[in-house]
Amino acid sequence: MSDKTQTLISIDPKRARTDTRQIRKIRSTGGDKVVATISHVVLAIWSIVVILPLLWTLFSSFKSTAEIFSSPFTLPSSWDFTNYINAWTKHNFGQMFLNTIIVVGVSLFLVMLLGAMCAYVLARFSVPGSRVIYYLMLAGLTFPVFLAIVPLFFILQGIGLLGTLPGLIVTYVAFALPFTVFFLYSFFKSLPYEIQEAAYVDGASEWRTFFQVMLPMARPGLAAVGILNFLGLWNQFLLPVALNPNAEQYVLSQGMAAFASAAGYEVDQGALFAAVIITIVPVLLVYIFFQRQLQGSVSQGTSK
């Protein structure tokens, strides 16, 4: 066999492998383009479905009731804030907004503090009964809220917290705590033990190690669970309606439900849409402000 024939035989397999790789690359590139196109189309449709109702609600909040019924899909004739002023003052949404800020703010602070401390202890220390406590927290996630309405009503009535903001705060904290512990448990569990031991060697106490070393390292998880808890607490409807019958202590969700029923057949539709915007805006601002932290926590959680 000549040297030329041996060279061709030795080269052909490599060329065959190279051609196969190129074909696979072309096929994978074509498949990726199809998947990307379909994904973009679905996301565009979903964005339209979400954004159009928000825009319609925003435009309707600047219209009068007659204009809403006569031309519901056109731009408002005037861009004044009369509906917002009426909703804020005449329909008492200003006080409801303040009540909601107090209840959600205090509840969120207590939930994040107590949940982080509980998750840290359960994840980092061998406490007697820690597994039982953790499984009880998980069981709390499966407990339907509506089953506890009647017992909670009588418990809060017995301790004098029915129809008060502190009663709502205690209830919110109790129902949000299991999810917070479950979410933060994996974050604290994945943190390196060497850093904790180094803090002990430097003379840091347990409290200082937790607040100054371990808690900042779990910041992505805290941001993510904070946003989720804020959304859940802000949009809570069943608990306030059942446990807060005092009209002076209404939160926004109760105000939205009582808006139409209090007005009878003469509903101020413009003020109603303005009240909806007042309720939505804080949620959008919080999400826009913390979305980077939420995305970072998700990517960090998937990489671990």
pLDDT at 260: 62
Write down the mean pLDDT value for the chain: 82
Least confident segment among 97-106, 127-136, 176-185: 127-136
- The DSSP 8-state label assigned to residue 20 in this structure reads H
Q: What is the mean pLDDT of residues 50-72?
A: 89
CA angle 285, 290, 293 (to 5 degrees): 170
Which of 241, 110, 111 shows the shortest CA–CA distance to 176?
Answer: 111
pLDDT at 69: 87
pLDDT tens across 205-244, in order?
A: 888 888 888 888 888 888 889 888 998 999 898 899 889 8
pLDDT tens across 249-294, in order?
A: 899 888 887 776 655 556 778 888 998 899 999 888 888 877 766 6
Whether the CB-CB separation of 57 and 273 falls below 8 Å is answered with: yes
- Rounded distance, CA 211 to CA 208, Å? 5
Given a cut of 80, is residue 11 above it in pLDDT?
no
On the 0-12 / 13-18 / 19+ scale of CB atoms within 10 A, 282 is: middle
On the 0-12 / 13-18 / 19+ scale of CB atoms within 10 A, 32 is: exposed
Give the pTM: 0.79
Q: What is the mean pLDDT of residues 142-146?
A: 83
Given a cut of 90, is residue 65 above it in pLDDT?
no
User: Which band of pLDDT confidence, cut at 50, 70 and 90, is reported for residue 55?
Assistant: very high
Given a cut of 60, is residue 201 above it in pLDDT?
yes
Given a cut of 70, is residue 91 above it in pLDDT?
yes
pLDDT tens across 25-42, in order?
A: 555 566 677 788 888 899
User: Which band of pLDDT confidence, cut at 50, 70 and 90, is reported for residue 110?
Assistant: very high
Share of the chain above pLDDT 70, in %: 83
